Amino acid sequence: RKEVEQDPGPFNVPEGATVAFNCTYSNSASQSFFWYRQDCRKEPKLLMSVYSSGNEDGRFTAQLNRASQYISLLIRDSKLSDSATYLCVVKQAGTALIFGKGTTLSVSS
């Protein structure tokens, strides 16, 4: 079983749609959680950290359920510029970041 699993998509949505990405992780010792965004063959960029209490940054909302070992990202009012691959990332203490394969989003007009 992979340490971080994501639905690879692609998710094809129209502008203005709401889209949700899910991610599960296998190691219950994981302590830190993130969503990164990666444009085609460019470097990953931190989108947001994920906290158990849930957190929001504009149109983006991230949730963490430690009991279910599940992480989600919700994007409201999708824009063309949101088209990218979204990487779910977890980290245990003293280890490197562990990336999922990513979920591809394509927003069309």
Partner 1 sequence: ETGVTQSPTHLIKTRGQQVTLRCSSQSGHNTVSWYQQALGQGPQFIFQYYREEENGRGNFPPRFSGLQFPNYSSELNVNALELDDSALYLCASSLDNSEKLFFGSGTQLSVL
Q: Does 17 bind partner 1 (CB under 8 A)?
A: no
Nearer to partner 1, 44 or 78 (CB): 44
CA gap 46, 57 in Å, rounded: 12
Residues in Cβ contact with 39 at an 8 Å cutoff, skipping those fewer than 6 apart: 84, 85
Report the nearest approach of partner 1 to the CB of residue 45 (Å).
7
Nearer to partner 1, 27 or 32 (CB): 32
Joined together, the tokens standing for residue 58 give 């504009």
Using CB under 8 A, count the residues that bind partner 1: 21
Which listed residue (13, 17, 74, 98) binds partner 1 by CB under 8 A? 98
Nearer to partner 1, 36 or 78 (CB): 36
Residues of this chain, 21-80, that bind partner 1 according to CB under 8 A: 32, 34, 41-46
Q: Does 101 bind partner 1 (CB under 8 A)?
A: yes
- Contacts with partner 1 by CB under 8 A lie at 4, 8, 32, 34, 41-46, 87, 91, 94-102
